[in-house]
Structure 1
Amino acid sequence: MSHAPHLHAPHLRVSGPAGDLAVADHGGDGPDVVLCHGANRTLLDWERLRPHLTGMRLVSYDLRGHGRSDPPADEDYGWAAHLADLDAVTEALALDNPRVIGHSLGGMIALCHGQRRPGCPGVVDLDGLGGGRPELYPGLDAEVVAERRAQQLAAHSAALAPDVLDAGQAELAVGRARQAAAVNGLDAALEEAGARRSLQPLEDGRYRRKPAASAQAALMEPLEGWDTFTAVREAACPTLLVQGARAPLLDRLPAPFRELNEALVAGVRNGLEALREDGPPGLHIARVREAGHMLHLQAPEKVGRVVRDFLLP
């Protein structure tokens, strides 16, 4: 495989409860902040946002089973497991009651951290909006929601198969990442670097995809019976939700999946409106009109300003 431009940062290995975690200590003056990326992404996702988070000491890490972090042998990707990893990073780097910023799945981890830490100075969820509760899908029966979510997950897992790729298949996966970057307005070189970071070289010249296609169900399992809006109401610390205002591209999805995701968009809208009316004290909600779900990569300057205004008032 050829290699994309590599982004350098001081990397270290931290021993977590299910294996080693790949951590980058970016330094900086100010309060400690931990960055948690989304599902099937890596710590490189923060490279565009970091320059706009001045006044903080930033630490990022690959979530368990992602990038260069070890996968859990028992395939435990539950909230408690993710929080135990976050605690391991915090302890290993002697961080002082860090603020937590997360995107998508990482934003949900940040919210879960906020539920258990009343003294946390603040958590930020960047477009980690949703969950698996059927109430989030207005207009669809619970049975239909469960069936279509399972079908969508199966299709997603199949698209990532196989778990182990030969060199040609690995290059195709990297090429698809660059193509997706063009569609979504992302930096192609950064997306390529993230895709390569998600491919673990094996001794026989092949590559193991991380997280594996076969691990996708376990990765998404914590969302069943969970939703962002309940977690926000139960948060015990100041919370910022930032939504990318651009509507997701759903036209190319099969009709059942399109209907499912359109319902989720409506459910998220309803949930945010309810929080604006009677959300808990300390909750702030912002929208970034210039971006969609990948808002920290599409509009890093704007997102950085919103986050800094919240965490460093």
Structure 2
Amino acid sequence: MPDVRAHRVPGPAGEIAVTDHGGDGPDAVLCHGANRTLLDWEKLLPHLTGLRLVSYDLRGHGRSDAPPDGDYGWDAHLADLDAVCEALALDDPRVIGHSLGGVIALCHGRRRPDGPGVVDLDGFGGGRPELYPGLDAETVAERRAEQLAVYSAALKPEILDAGQAGLVLARARRAADALGLDAELEEAGARRSLRPLEDGRLLRRPGASAQKELMRPLEGWDTFTAVRETSCPVLLVQGGQRPQLSGLPAPFRELNEALAEGVRRGLASLREEARPGLRITKVPGAGHMLHLQAPGEVGRLVREFLVP
């Protein structure tokens, strides 16, 4: 069995919580998505043999410190990634990311043209109007802001008593059941996102007040442009199940349907270009949380792409 070790390493915004999962093979770093934690990789880890694996909580997530200046920009995330690599003496690692973490992986790949490769697991969102066919720029901006406000409101209050924390954990289990995820693991991830305070209460991380800055870098982001600017090998893996949008208010449903169409068109355009080093594939039986819903298939795809 690999020797799993937890670390707290110094980063530019404070300490970063890191887990070294060990393993034989080239180094690989795992970057989770927004409002998640490094526990998201637990189901995938057994399927990533042939790699030495390291995961960490993104800044302001899980047990990593939040940036005092509220900086969640790409350069800040890359500085944290560099700090993890330096602290654990990682040798030009492959980077595997999900959702927001997939964007971080692409940002890393873009600056490492001779790097060994990056993997983006369903990280295709962004705020550029071109990603929302059929909607004008003003409508996209307004609806994205409204949607973020609704999501942020659901993360209040940020400081919880024991009863409120219990409700958060129960909500995580219900969400897991709805998505076909492991309820125990989802509860553990939610628990990891609650930091104990001196008075016995718990601080939700990242909370409602951090969401605007956390999402701000996505406003000008376009995955498909980034891929075209990346010379190192890139694997894009999409969840094949369309998101269930029927329960959303009509304006949000239209926004997300437009994004789904924009992603479809963007991936189709990349396929037509047949760029060297780029592989695009889909996991039919999974949605956005594909690494948790189909870890065996996702692990196989990543291994085939990254393991020599």
* TM-score, normalised by the number of residues in structure 1: 0.97
| Equivalent residue, structure 1, for 2:78 | 83
| Cα deviation digits, residues 161-187 of structure 1 (max 9, x gap) | 111111111110111000000000100
The Cα of 1:279 is off from its aligned counterpart by: 4.6
Alignment partner, residue 240 of structure 2: 245
In 2, the alpha carbon distance for the partners of 1:75 and 1:84 equals 14
Q: CA RMSD in A?
A: 0.9
**Residue 160 of structure 1: SS of its match in structure 2?**
coil
Distance in 2, matches of 1:130 and 1:153, equals 13
Give, in whole Å, the separation in 2 of the partners of 1:93 and 1:76: 24
Moved segments of 4+, more than 2 Å: none
Name the counterpart of 1:232. 227
1:306, 1:50 → 2: CA distance?
13
Give the counterpart letter for 1:197 in structure 2.
R
Q: How does 1:47-196 map to 2 (within 5 A)?
A: 47-196=42-191
Shift of 1:199: 0.3
2:143 counterpart letter in structure 1: R
User: Is 2:17 aligned against 1:22?
Assistant: yes
Could you tell me which runs of 5 or more consecutive residues in structure 2 were left unpaired when the two chains were aligned: none
8 A Cα contact 1:233 1:279, kept in partner:
no
Distance in 2 between the 1:254 and 1:100 partners? 36
What is the total number of aligned residue pairs between the two structures?
306
Q: Which moved more, 1:165-174 or 1:76-85?
A: 165-174
2:211 aligned with 1:216: yes
Structural mapping, 1:29-48, within 5 Å: 29-48=24-43
Partner of 2:248, secondary structure, is coil
Q: Indicate if the aligned counterparts of 1:64 and 1:72 stay in contact, CA closer than 8 A.
A: yes
The one-letter code sitting in structure 2 at the alignment partner of 1:203 is: E
**Pick aligned residue for 2:286 from 260, 285, 291:** 291
TM-score (norm 2): 0.98
Shift of 1:128: 0.3
Among 296, 299, 305, which residue is 1:301 paired with?
Answer: 296
Identity %: 75
1:5 counterpart residue number? none
State how far apart, in whole Å, the 1-side matches of 2:287 and 2:231 are: 28
Matched letter for residue 222 of structure 1: P
- Kindly indicate whether the alpha-carbon contact (under 8 Å) linking 2:32 and 2:99 is maintained by their aligned counterparts in 1: yes
Partners of 1:31 and 1:57 lie apart in 2 by: 6
Residue 224 of structure 1 aligns to a residue whose secondary structure is helix
Counterpart Cα distance in 2 of 1:69 and 1:166: 21
Amino acid at match of 1:251: S
